[in-house]
Structure 1
Amino acid sequence: MAVACAIACFAWIGICDETKGQTLSTEAKPIGSAVNVSLLRLGLGGQGRVGCWIPIRLEAGGLTAGSDIKVVVVASDARGDQCADNVVTTTADSSGKIAINAAFMTGRLDGTIIVRLLDSGANVLWESSIPCRSIGASPILEKSPELGAIPSGLTLMTYRPLTLATIGVPDALNLMANELGASAATKDTLAVMSLDSLDDLPTSRRGLDSVDYLLLVGTYDVSKLQQLSIEQWVTSGGHLVVSCGVKLPQLLQSSLGNWLQPIFQIEATPLFIQDLSALQNFVSGSSQLQTYRKPVAMMKLGSTQAWSLVDSINGPLIQRVSYGAGMITVVAVDLDDKPLNQWLSLPQLYEMLISDRLLNDAENRVFSGGRISSSGVSDLATQLAAVSDAVPAADRWSSWSVMLLILLFLILIGPVDYLLVVRLFKKPQLTWLTFPLLIVATCTLAVSWVGTRDAAVIVRQVQLLDVAQPNFRQTIRVRSWDSLSAADSGYISVTAKPLPIATSAGAEAIADSRMTLSWHGRPEDVYGGLYREGGVTVRRQLSHRSDQLNGQSSEFSSVPMLTDGSAAFLAETFVDVSESMVVESHLRVSPSGLLEGEFTHHLSSPIRDWAVVFGNRVYRASLKANATGQIIAPGKPWSRENNAVDVSDLREFLKGVRMPGPSAATKSVAGVNHIQFKSFYDTQGTNPLDILTMVSLFEVPGGETFVKLQNNGLRHDDVSDVIHLNTVLVLGTLDVQLSAMIVNGTTLKPKASQTVVRLLLPVMRVGSVVETPMAEPLASVQLN
């Protein structure tokens, strides 16, 4: 009896109750047979990334004219439960047709995705089940024959491989991808998403969430919505590569050309050249690039601010600029036309456009091939998610802890009962009363102990504010990683709203914006990770999500919550504040590479613990700075010329290298012992600023070799290359909360909320700027 009661008592502490909830039925109940879906496309080229937004494109007819139609996608979430996502609600036109472009997410590499069309009464008009499969070893997938308009499957990949989307696949790109796939070190580093036409390009930034590189060669006639989605995607960390030569008129007449022309100062008339030796010399060990004395069309790029990767006597052949957190590379000749498409070294040129990341991934793969993460943390995104977890790892009861408590209780209950009935009361027959009372009292104390909470629902937040000023625009991107924990099992509804963060008129645009709320998963193969298999589906729960319908923020309903469990969400908004800028920047870089000029922000909080990064240098508050110099106050310009600013080497700063000051026995600085103290990155750290600093500058100190973690989940936030082009990074913390969680209609005050800010500001190059090399290390290095 004691054993049974003890097991029941302590198991209740460590193991959450399973909720009795809704069950998912995959049986369709169509009410009309006239519905005809003429087109259904999932992903880009039939591919997507688990845990990222995946585009869906659907066209259907045979509907009642003027009727409201809901498009619902049912897929797994990060916990393995099902989420019915109402991705869009539209109205059938006069001919009974609809055409939609939207996005959804899935949290498992396998399983089945169900697409449904519902009428206003939630009756199923049409549905289709699409199986998911994990990507294989080949970087370019052979397209399986489609049965009619419905795809036969969706191929999903992890965060590990880089993805390159393109219209069709040029032969040289196909050859490069196959060569990478044939090597054991690089076979999983690149996946090519081949689109049939420009119509398959998403019309929203979220639709490009799975894409790292977008290559446009020969086809440029994108719609205005597609161009805006590409621009926002680049601002958020994407890399656009455009190649154009003889088709320059078509490029300049498109929305894409109207956007790129002022950035690169593209002239309307192409040049015709016969010498491409500069491009040949750019590729190490390349074969000869012959033009056979035939003229080759070349764009004339006149920008003095763009970084020329390949220059020639006729002008730049390849130029690159930073744009927010992303980059744009323009190749001034057509890579898919003669003579370049016949060049034997063209695959190597494609590889060099993205070679840095590919080579780094290959090196890190060899370096970390035998490493196993005992903590379940292999990515910086997982470390960041653990900081916002409403039930921190330190507060969780493991199975071993529960069993140890049970064993301890069984050991103690006998002697305690003996002392009571024999030594104290001296009536052994009372054991029939005292023994059950001890069990009941222990269970009552355990229940009251575990049930003590600050609130019925606990919220923890880690928030990131990105202010980017690419070209003549300024955008604000707010992301909030939120975690909820409930005291009792049940179902909740969840939404989010933005909060005022600026003192300028731009605050109105932020307050009027709508937030996109989604579930959030960790890029791991542990319990609750995105890389786990679907498993048993009998007792999976079903939640519902609506995506920004009727001008409202997206919302979850009937989200299952377990006692003392946690559910993770990501709230996000992207706002254009160009009409009333939150940050004013007038930064310049001198020929020596030092920052000049100033910037001023109008946020409602000072920036604390700040660091300004450009090139190989970091600018921080001096140790002798007063309280005013330790912060960047709203409305007050920041400048390097301030005496309270120290300049140091960026790589050594990220590696934790610090030089100790003079000791009491030292009379002068010349007597200081020049010894550096170097510390490794703390993979178990809980400071969001430290984590996001390493995310933002991941490649600078050596990537995974130094950090000992990967940066795949937040790869688009790595601006290691951007800070060497046209962008200054300002990092710090704010005292302001960016967004609020609304649970069951009540706005909750978070138990903990930490905000990090990143300003991505333009810098004007003055004169001939020479990139300064990394500082040489001093005599000796001590590892702490």
Structure 2
Amino acid sequence: MTEPDCRRALDVARRNATCFVLGIVVIAACAADRAIAIEVRAVHLGLDGIYRLGFWTPILVEVDAEEPLTEATIEVIVPDGDATPVVYRLDWQEDSDFGRSRRGGAGEPARGSGDSAGDVVTYRAGGFIKVGRSTGLLTVQLLWDQEVVERTHFPLQSESVGRAVDDQDVIVMTLGRLEVVAERLSDLSRGQVATIRTAELEPATWPTNWLGYDAADVVILSASPTVAEHFANRPATRAALETWLRRGGRLLLAAGGAAPETLAADGPFAELLPGRFDKLVDLENTLRYEEFCRTADRLWSPERSQLDAWRVPRFVNLRGRVLLQETIGPTSVPLIVRHSYGLGEVAYLAGDLEGDDFMRWAGTDALLARLLPSRLQLAGAAAAEPLGAVGYDDMYGHLRRNLDDFRDAGVEPVRFWIVASLVLVYLVALVPGDFWLLRRLRGRMEWTWISVPLLILLTCTAAWAIAYGAHGTGMRINAAEVVDIDTTDGRLRSTLWFTIYSPRTARYDVRVLESQATEGNMPVAAVKPETILAWQGLPGEGLGGMHARGAASLFLSPYRLSPDRRDLQGVPIPVASTKTFRAQQFCTCGESVELDVQIAVGGAESELVGNVVNHLDHSIDDCLLFYRRWVYRLGTLAPNVETPLPEQWAPELSRYELTNNDVYDHDSEDLAYVLLMMMFYDQAGGREFSRLQNRQASYLDLSHTLASGRPILVGRADRGRLTASVDDHAAASDVVNQTSLYRFVFAPLTANSTEAEGGPVPTTAP
């Protein structure tokens, strides 16, 4: 190459190098500019600043930016129940506050499209996450073209983010101006082990997704004109509340201050009322309320109240249990009614909790204590079993312990004496044994360079063989499933807990599938089912509990929950360890509920007459038919065989059937036994019987439906509705040990009942 050619090539190389360096500088400058232009302003976690570990909770993130973020992805990273980080994806909010300018220009550009440079726009992203630890960090990260452009850390359990309540605490959510409720519930919990936390939400923050109510033990709703107007303007809030109720929620509805048009058949509260609204009537006094709460203080009187009359709604075609009523002429006016709503319950109160009368009344505390669910144990709560006695203080802890037991699958814990013996043999062989052996070999002490490594190799091989034999080589899954079917509307709720045992350290993609059994004569969804999968933590402060202090994860790299909450991607499980998950599926079966039941009340309270036909393609074993205080043992329901109910003398008290007149067996390894206790927790005696609370799966307890006169049939099936899938492969039958219980809830045999908690209903004629 000539000298001019060399100079020309050198100039080209210099220009290319200069362009490359300038490109790097420009890219770095753009990245720096983008990092500076984006700021995570605030994080709002929970309900009114409180949330419960292990439950779905709403989160709202506010981000300031000088450029549109609609193409960016926002994610939140929090620890799960094992302190392993998990990633949740949030959605940009598109409500009236979305993209509202906070400072800079005066415009309010839609979806954050700023009008001028330097105009900072506040964006909001929201969703639902599950937090598993009260300590650690909540990380918010923004991604642009799969690249993280902003990452901000917030400490959990801080005032700026929110605070996790203790496991025994009660969360009561109020919808309406119910300051009296918050004040009286605070007084009610004073001196008790459990603290009542009241979440007072503004109408603009009421959940529009039923997951927003997941952490609430009970919701108190005021049927005021203001609430009715909000429900009318934002029907998604009412739909979310009704969905949560149908799936096992508890609601206290105070309708004393409602307008007639809001109680009508086309009003926003019609579905929640105990009957069809007739008209408003005036009561001359409130003596019935005072007797119900056992107080001499007058709730209302014309002399001391701003109300001219105590006006309450009257209903016809009542449903549920009437706990308190007033007789006016030939008709009765219900004042307090409990009735089922799907798998949940509504307690109706003919009273305006927003009024001044309940604020000053001495009986408000007692009224709230009797109207809220009995499982909350608001007064005189029995203490839960100490952690040192059983290692857990929640019914789910017993279920979790059994799910973690893989001895039937050949996974045995290595006994201490085996480890101690191996160490002792190793020490004896290493020092005196090696010396004695080499001395016997004519003093060839230099052979220790061979004998010691050989001894170490043999010891390691023996330890590996012991661990290999105890832990096995294959993945194993233990599962427990409860399938609830409300035969009145065909709605189905399936809850599956499953624990994966991993013989090696690995990452798995986890999801749930409908089992092959659904391809036969199983309840078929009329529309696409809603499936929700997530990790499941252990409550309490014991070893492995979500409130345990000082816990750290072995993994720093997070795994992900898919945006539709159906898949978990890259879940890490250490060697010879387990991890537990919970999946729920909701759907409507239409007319495919596969039980033909024709039963009626006989001549006595405990007598049912009729028959049951199982149209499934497999049998249901160990069937029990619960009705009020009684239970019928039906045995096995064979496919397409009519099974008559036993004679009148056959029923037993349901509490005896559940408890066998014995103490709760904390050592039971029978998953069906634990599930049955969780399914009828109050009916079996609640905390007084089990010495455990039932907070993690309280929705599973349908004892209240028995009190409403709804028969319930429970049986065990060999086939479940859901099955676990790992790495896109359904687990084989020889890998999964699954216990499945089916529970069919029928319509009440009587329209309504009139009774009181602890005695007859007080009634009087004016």
TM-score normalized with structure 1 length: 0.78
CA displacement at 1:291 relative to structure 2 = 3.3
Instruction: Name the structure 2 match of 1:410.
Output: 427
Q: Deviations over 1:477-501 (max 9, x none)?
A: 2222222233332333222222244
SS of alignment partner, residue 450 of structure 1: helix
Unaligned 5+ segments in structure 2 are 1-30, 100-108, 113-122, 759-766
Cα 1:487/1:653, change in 2 over 3 Å: closer
Equivalent of 1:513, from 524, 529, 536? 529
CA displacement at 1:39 relative to structure 2 = 8.3
Q: Which amino acid aligns with 1:754?
A: Q
Equivalent of 2:506, from 490, 500, 511? 490
CA displacement at 1:616 relative to structure 2 = 1.4
Equivalent of 1:281, from 252, 266, 291? 291
Residue 633 (structure 2) pairs with residue 615 (structure 1): no
Instruction: Name the structure 2 match of 1:757.
Output: 741
SS of alignment partner, residue 476 of structure 2: strand
Instruction: Name the structure 1 match of 2:174.
Output: 166
Q: Deviations over 1:622-677 (max 9, x none)?
A: xxxxxxxx31234445542479x9311222222324xxxxxxxxxxxxxxxxxxxx
**Counterparts of 1:410 and 1:722, CA distance in 2:** 65
Residue 596 (structure 2) pairs with residue 592 (structure 1): no
Count of residues in Structure 1 that have an aligned counterpart in Structure 2: 686
Q: Which amino acid aligns with 1:241?
A: L
What is the aligned-residue RMSD (CA, Å)?
3.8
Cα 1:533/1:418, change in 2 over 3 Å: closer
Cα 1:34/1:85, change in 2 over 3 Å: same
SS of alignment partner, residue 566 of structure 1: strand
Unaligned 5+ segments in structure 1 are 1-27, 135-143, 145-151, 622-629, 658-678, 775-784
**Counterparts of 1:207 and 1:36, CA distance in 2:** 26
Contact 1:305/1:765 (8 A) holds in 2:
no
**Counterparts of 1:418 and 1:604, CA distance in 2:** 72
Pairs within 5 Å for 1:55-454: 55-57=58-60, 67-88=70-91, 95-97=110-112, 101-124=126-149, 129-133=153-157, 152-167=160-175, 170-183=178-191, 186-197=192-203, 199-217=204-222, 218=224, 219-220=227-228, 221-222=230-231, 223-245=234-256, 246-252=258-264, 256-261=268-273, 264-267=274-277, 269-292=279-302, 294-314=308-328, 315-337=333-355, 339-354=357-372, 356-359=374-377, 362-365=380-383, 371-389=386-404, 395-397=412-414, 402-403=419-420, 405-411=422-428, 433-452=450-469
**Counterparts of 2:663 and 2:731, CA distance in 1:** 37
**Counterparts of 2:529 and 2:62, CA distance in 1:** 29
Residue 577 (structure 2) pairs with residue 565 (structure 1): yes
SS of alignment partner, residue 267 of structure 1: strand
**Counterparts of 2:430 and 2:526, CA distance in 1:** 61
Instruction: Name the structure 2 match of 1:632.
Output: 637
Equivalent of 1:555, from 551, 554, 567? 567
Equivalent of 1:43, from 38, 43, 46? 46
Cα 1:396/1:353, change in 2 over 3 Å: same
Cα 1:422/1:382, change in 2 over 3 Å: same
CA displacement at 1:728 relative to structure 2 = 2.5
Per mean C-alpha deviation after superposition, the further-off stretch among 298-307 and 493-502 is 493-502
**Counterparts of 1:683 and 1:570, CA distance in 2:** 22
Q: Which amino acid aligns with 1:594?
A: E
CA displacement at 1:419 relative to structure 2 = 8.5
**Counterparts of 2:644 and 2:540, CA distance in 1:** 42
**Counterparts of 2:247 and 2:87, CA distance in 1:** 27
Q: Which amino acid aligns with 1:561?
A: I
**Counterparts of 2:46 and 2:732, CA distance in 1:** 37
Cα 1:304/1:153, change in 2 over 3 Å: same
Instruction: Name the structure 1 match of 2:11.
Output: none
Pairs within 5 Å for 1:645-664: 646-657=650-661
Q: Which amino acid aligns with 1:720?
A: S
SS of alignment partner, residue 300 of structure 1: strand
**Counterparts of 1:400 and 1:253, CA distance in 2:** 72
**Counterparts of 1:769 and 1:243, CA distance in 2:** 21
Q: Which amino acid aligns with 2:663?
A: F
CA displacement at 1:683 relative to structure 2 = 0.7
SS of alignment partner, residue 393 of structure 2: coil
Q: Deviations over 1:516-562 (max 9, x none)?
A: 2211111132332111135568x75232323344xxx6222232222
Q: Deviations over 1:169-228 (max 9, x none)?
A: 634323322323421xx152422111122x322222322111111000122443443333
Equivalent of 2:480, from 463, 466, 480? 463
Cα 1:256/1:728, change in 2 over 3 Å: farther
Q: Deviations over 1:230-258 (max 9, x none)?
A: 23322333211111133342354877424
**Counterparts of 1:648 and 1:773, CA distance in 2:** 22
SS of alignment partner, residue 547 of structure 2: coil
Cα 1:225/1:40, change in 2 over 3 Å: farther
TM-score normalized with structure 2 length: 0.79
Per mean C-alpha deviation after superposition, the further-off stretch among 433-442 and 73-82 is 433-442
Cα 1:506/1:34, change in 2 over 3 Å: farther
Cα 1:253/1:722, change in 2 over 3 Å: closer
Contact 1:249/1:268 (8 A) holds in 2:
no
**Counterparts of 1:189 and 1:603, CA distance in 2:** 46
- Between the aligned residues of both structures, percent identity stands at 20
- Which structure has the bigger radius of gyration? 2
SS of alignment partner, residue 110 of structure 1: coil
Instruction: Name the structure 2 match of 1:664.
Output: none
